[in-house]
Amino acid sequence: MTVLVTGGAGYIGSHMVLELIDAGESVVVLDNLSTGFRWAVPDEVPLVVGDFGDEALVSKLIAERGISAIIHFAAKIVVPESVSDPLGYYLNNTAKARNLIACAVAGGVKNFIFSSTAAVYGEPQQNPVTESESLKPINPYGRSKWFVEMMLEDTAKATDLRYVVLRYFNVAGADPKGRTGQSTANATHLIKVAVQTALGQRAGMEVFGTDYPTPDGSCLRDYIHVTDLVRAHMDALRHLRTGGDSLTCNAGYQRGFSVLDVIKVVKDVSGRDFPVKLSGRRAGDPAAIVASNARIKSVLNWQPKHDDLPSIVRQALDWERRLHNRKLAG
């Protein structure tokens, strides 16, 4: 009954591993440490350093460790980078995921949970967006994940693999107990950038686009606390283990904040003012995207507990300070 977590040394994956071991689960992490950290994996959890697209390695792992479920986080996740390096994204996020799914099927792993993204919707016709909205991703990142959704759907029809696809909205915050958080070097995500700027680690920050058709002209996003997100995976795992059907769900709070809203909250919570430059649009960004969460609440009985932007920001700030002290300590 061991759960294989790919990308378990990364931001969301490391929160998942803590949630699983807190629940008494047996866990193995597979991570190539390209953006993750060895220290982010608790000592009692085996860490295999390697590539999730390496079929020989993954097949051996599945057989030797008795893997019964895979939670697949490892991916490239930066929208503008996907625009400049599409083939890198299709290799890592799509082609290698195909190998991982093939290993799951060959190794008899029946339960698969996949980290998809709101980017599969592109610029939705309606917000909050429901899972039945037609998918029209507007960047290679979204398309690289959509292919995997399709592979899972087709594979589940042809084999006895079952899956839950979770379409993440904007994941933020950190473990409330301070054990892990967003630690990626050169992170580009809004809350991380704003928090680093508030702490003086960056001289200033930019708002990418103030001419969008939104109330204040900056982009609207649905920011979900990482702890609520990993709980959704626990709910998904229970669903699959108890015989639930394959399923695709949004993971978000059904609430949008603009980039300017977020920066204001970061200034308020940190008590620091900092320079913000209003800049042009960033490649690949949709104007507004907010989750409908009716399905995840009804089918998985997901109950979010951290739907509060100031708390998300406070925990992100706390984590950034810890990370800074860790770096100073060498």
Residue ranges that bind ligand UDP, judged by CB under 6 A:
79, 170, 188-190, 193, 205-208, 219, 221, 259, 282, 285
Q: Would you say 48 or 79 has its CB closer to ligand UDP?
A: 79
Is residue 190 a contact partner of residue 313, using CB atoms and an 8 Å limit? no
Residue located via tokens 């929208």: 79
Residue nearest to ligand UDP (CB): 219
Q: Would you say 112 or 141 has its CB closer to ligand UDP?
A: 141
Catalytic residue among 11, 141, 168, 223: 141
The count of other CB atoms within 10 Å of the CB of residue 198 is 23
Active site residue 121: no
**In whole angstroms, how close is the CB of 83 to ligand UDP at the nearest point?**
11
The two structure tokens encoding residue 169: 């909205």
Q: Would you say 25 or 206 has its CB closer to ligand UDP?
A: 206
**In whole angstroms, how close is the CB of 220 to ligand UDP at the nearest point?**
8
**In whole angstroms, how close is the CB of 9 to ligand UDP at the nearest point?**
21
Cα–Cα distance for residue pair 307/121, rounded to 1 Å? 23
DSSP letter string, 4-40: EEETTTSHHHHHHHHHHHHTT--EEEEE--SSS-GGG
**In whole angstroms, how close is the CB of 11 to ligand UDP at the nearest point?**
12
Cα–Cα distance for residue pair 216/288, rounded to 1 Å? 12
Residues sharing a CB contact under 8 Å with residue 148, sequence separation 6 or more, in sequence order: 93, 94, 97, 98, 101, 114, 116
Question: Whats the size of the chain, residue-wise?
Answer: 330
Closest CA to 274 of 197, 218, 190, 196: 197
Cα–Cα distance for residue pair 292/238, rounded to 1 Å? 22
**In whole angstroms, how close is the CB of 289 to ligand UDP at the nearest point?**
7
Q: Would you say 79 or 317 has its CB closer to ligand UDP?
A: 79
Active site residues: 141
